[in-house]
Structure 1
Amino acid sequence: MPACLPEMHAHPSPADQPLSITYDHESREMERYRGLALSFLPTRPEVSRLMATLGIECEQRLGALETLAEQLQRRHCLPATLARRRSLAEQYRLHLFISNDAMACQTLGYALAFARHSLQFSELMAQHCQLARLDTLLARFVDSKRYECRLLEEVRAGAYAASARA
């Protein structure tokens, strides 16, 4: 019998919490990158595309987590479906469109700070995970998030350079 019952959906067992917490974290990351993609769209379409791509990578990580949960017969332990979360997030979403270089630099700084936090989160989860096969998946996430941080560092450095020339 599975460790967490469908009616106990909001409270997975301690053994299932790393899977549940990681899934929730990635879904928030995906929503954040999608919001950033929209924010950068009017003035910096190349940054918008990068943010959209990073959001897609989060979505792929969510798919990998769902696949693993199904293989482990733990799909019912994952947080609320993305469709429900999206509708709640959209009710409270406020998009701020990037209108100048200073705003772009500041927003990219925040994006990088969040990406570094996400990397640290994934590193900690990978180090302390005791759920079968999730640790291997988390190690892949860590590599992906390191690359994500490098990309954001480069984009931010380019934005600062462009801002200094202006």
Structure 2
Amino acid sequence: MPETKTKIARLVLVLDELLTLAEAHEKTELARYRQLAFSFLTFDTSVSRLMASLGIQCEMRIEVLQRVFRQLGLTDLPTSSEKTEAAQPYFICSPEMANDVLAQAITDAEYSLRFHQHLREASIIPALYPALSVIIKQKQAEHTVLEGFMTSLSCLDLTKQAS
């Protein structure tokens, strides 16, 4: 049986496309973390503060991306004409719901990490590598913090049940 060779196509993005994608992704992440901070506000303020601080990190990454855009001689990041639909506000009202939402936040953080890793791979501009590498390290830390927080909450729940 003859072997067929599979070619792997590498997506290469031009500079402004890459930065625009990264910024749009971070703006979506910012909106998601703000929504989570609001949702946990009445259930657990420590989770709410964590989500708010992760949102602040997104704001800082957006500023870094805009700064890189200007440093590379591009005018401004194009603003997207698409408006993201605001999620319906909801409040976390049970430990089970909190666990589900936190598990989804961890999944979303992992997706975001992979997204930025793929953007770095798709970049042919060496000047972007350091900035994208820093963002990837931050995303790895974000994922680790969320996992650790979920684990610590699970341990607290188990000690409460044992009492």
TM-score bracket for the superposition, by shorter chain length: 0.7 to 0.9
CA RMSD of aligned residues (A): 1.9
- 1:70: Cα distance to partner? 1.1
Cα shift readout 1:26-69 (whole Å, capped 9, x = no counterpart): 11011100110001111110011110000000000000011111
Unaligned runs of 5+ in 1: 1-12
Q: How many pairs does the alignment contain?
A: 148
Cα shift readout 1:70-112 (whole Å, capped 9, x = no counterpart): 11222434333xxx87xx44x6331111111101100000000
Partner AA of 1:41 in structure 2:
L
Corresponding position: 1:121 with 2:115: yes
Query: Contact 2:15–2:123 (CA<8 Å) still a contact in 1?
Result: no
Q: 1:155 aligns with which of 149, 152, 159?
A: 149
TM-score (norm 1): 0.81
| Corresponding residue number in structure 2 for 1:39 | 39
Query: Contact 1:104–1:159 (CA<8 Å) still a contact in 2?
Result: no
Please give the residue correspondences for 1:10-89 in structure 2 after superposition, counting only pairs within 5 Å: 14-80=14-80, 88-89=83-84
> Where does structure 1 differ by over 4 angstroms across 4 or more consecutive aligned residues?
none
Unaligned runs of 5+ in 2: 1-12
Q: Work out the percentage of aligned pairs sharing the same amino acid.
A: 30
Query: Contact 2:66–2:76 (CA<8 Å) still a contact in 1?
Result: no
Task: Report which of the two has the higher share of helix.
Answer: 1
| Corresponding residue number in structure 1 for 2:125 | 131
| Corresponding residue number in structure 1 for 2:100 | 106
Query: Contact 2:66–2:77 (CA<8 Å) still a contact in 1?
Result: no
TM-score (norm 2): 0.82
Query: Contact 1:19–1:78 (CA<8 Å) still a contact in 2?
Result: no
- 1:132: Cα distance to partner? 4.7
Query: Contact 1:43–1:98 (CA<8 Å) still a contact in 2?
Result: yes
